């Protein structure tokens, strides 16, 4: 058995662009443009590496933010990138059989699976995977806080020798961290670590998630939350504006609200605010069914709220929170 430490970079269409309006056979959050992976043996030795550039088929115009962050140019993708089908065939052959994927965060595997389904490729071989960040937290400070890869490296005294935001570079540094963890024990105790991780509110896409969108360029945090409760608070079924109830803050700069559509009922909204390189605010928004685990977590949180606050109108509650409890923004 081998561990495959995986990291990817993906492209997203610019909001409002023709690509963003495309209706794809399978909904994806981003189209993969780079895969980096490092093999860690069963006795936790860092072994060989794999990397490939992929020429996007659906989101062909490279988002300038993605290009700035990764250093990948559109011209390089055109000259060096291969088709998704070829990249996946090579990657799967390199991985071999009896493997467990490890990622730093929840997004990489789910985005990989979305892309595989979009191209009509098998996904079953990617089903065995774990978020190494959960194992790291459980075996270090026991916290539920989401940690940047750089932070984990500093805790373990690992010097960066590869570029950040490069798929292979990030995979290599993650592999060095994984080599210092008790992976076998971490996997055995993973369910408990995940459950204690605040019901997955640090990036996990919990069961019942039916929509995900990313919004950019809000002037400040108040404007971002106002938009999420206002003009962008659309029903995932009919698109009509929904009425929110109350934002509750979560660790990791996340917020959740229970919104109601007059025709289709209640939906849980989860958002995460982060600061863009230009100082403006980006919002990652997830919408869940009212019967989902995430919605149940909201209800439990609401039951613990100050009884006096429970009797305030939703509008007054939101104004009070925006004045006295403005969210902090995490620098990515």
pLDDT value of position 198? 42
Question: pTM for this structure?
Answer: 0.63
At residue 324, does pLDDT exceed 50? Answer: no
The domain boundary, picked from 196, 217, 236, lies at 196
Report the run of H or E that residue 177 belongs to, with start and end. helix 167-178
Among 196, 229, 257, give the residue marking a domain's end.
196
Determine the average pLDDT of the residues in 288-298.
83
Range of the domain at 239: 209-331
Query: Which distant-in-sequence residues (6+ apart) come within 8 Å of 26 by Cβ?
Result: 114, 117, 118
Q: 167 with 51: CB under 8 angstroms? A: yes
Do 250 and 187 lie in a common domain? no
Model pLDDT, residue 62: 92
The rounded mean pLDDT for the chain is: 85
Examine the domain organization and report whether 125 and 191 are in the same domain: yes
More confident site: 171 or 107:
171
The pLDDT assigned to 123 comes to 94
pLDDT surpasses 60 at 263: yes
Q: Around 258, how many Cα atoms within 13 Å sit in the side-chain half-sphere?
A: 17
What is the average per-residue pLDDT within 259-279? 87
Q: Residue 227 and residue 229: Cα distance in Å, rounded? A: 5
What total of structural domains would you count in the chain? 2
The whole-number pLDDT of residue 309 equals 42
Tell me, yes or no, whether 144 and 224 share the same domain. Answer: no
Summarize the confidence of residues 238-254 as an average pLDDT: 85
Q: Are residues 244 and 186 both part of a single domain?
A: no
Confidence of residue 13 (pLDDT cuts 50, 70, 90): confident
pLDDT at 328: 37
The average pLDDT across 13-31 equals 84
pLDDT at 110 over 60: yes
Looking at the structure, tell me whether residues 299 and 263 fall in a common domain. Answer: yes
Question: Could you give the percent of the chain with pLDDT greater than 90?
Answer: 57
Same domain, 299 and 244: yes
**Residue-level pLDDT at 18:** 83
Residue 166 has pLDDT above 90, yes or no: yes
| Section 112-133 average pLDDT | 94
Helices (H) and strands (E) in the chain, counts: 13, 11
Q: Are 174 and 261 found together in one domain?
A: no
Q: Which residue has the higher pLDDT, 307 or 185?
A: 185
Lowest-confidence range among 36-50, 133-147, 196-210, 240-254? 196-210
Best mean pLDDT range from 12-16, 129-133, 293-297 = 129-133
């Amino acid at each position: 058995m081998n561990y495959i430490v995986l990291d990817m970079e993906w492209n997203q269409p610019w909001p409002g662009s023709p690509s963003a309006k495309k209706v794809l056979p399978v909904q994806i959050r981003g189209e993969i443009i780079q895969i980096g992976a490092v093999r860690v043996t069963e006795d936790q030795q860092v072994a060989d590496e794999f990397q490939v550039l992929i020429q996007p088929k659906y989101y062909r115009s490279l988002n300038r933010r993605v290009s700035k962050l990764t250093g990948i140019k559109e011209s390089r993708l055109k000259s060096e990138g291969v088709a998704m089908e070829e990249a996946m065939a090579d990657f799967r052959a390199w991985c071999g059989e009896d493997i467990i994927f490890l990622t730093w965060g929840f997004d990489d595997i789910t985005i990989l699976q979305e892309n595989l389904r979009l191209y009509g490729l098998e996904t079953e071989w990617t089903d065995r995977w774990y978020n190494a960040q959960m194992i790291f937290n459980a075996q270090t400070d026991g916290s539920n806080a989401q940690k940047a890869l750089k932070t984990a490296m500093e805790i373990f005294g690992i010097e960066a020798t590869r570029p950040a935001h490069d798929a292979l570079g990030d995979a290599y540094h993650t592999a060095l961290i994984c080599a210092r963890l008790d992976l076998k024990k971490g996997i055995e105790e993973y369910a408990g670590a995940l459950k204690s991780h605040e019901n997955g509110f640090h990036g996990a896409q919990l069961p019942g998630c039916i929509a995900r969108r990313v919004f950019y360029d809000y002037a400040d945090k108040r404007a971002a939350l106002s938009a999420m409760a206002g003009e962008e608070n659309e029903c995932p079924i009919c698109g009509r504006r929904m009425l929110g109830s109350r934002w509750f803050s979560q660790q990791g700069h996340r917020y959740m609200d229970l919104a109601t559509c007059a025709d289709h009922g209640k939906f849980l909204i989860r958002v995460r605010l982060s600061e863009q390189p230009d100082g403006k605010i980006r919002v990652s928004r997830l919408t869940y069914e009212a019967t989902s685990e995430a919605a149940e977590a909201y209800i439990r949180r609401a039951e613990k709220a100050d009884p006096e606050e429970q009797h305030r109108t939703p509008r007054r509650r939101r104004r009070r929170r925006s004045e006295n409890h403005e969210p902090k923004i995490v620098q990515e």
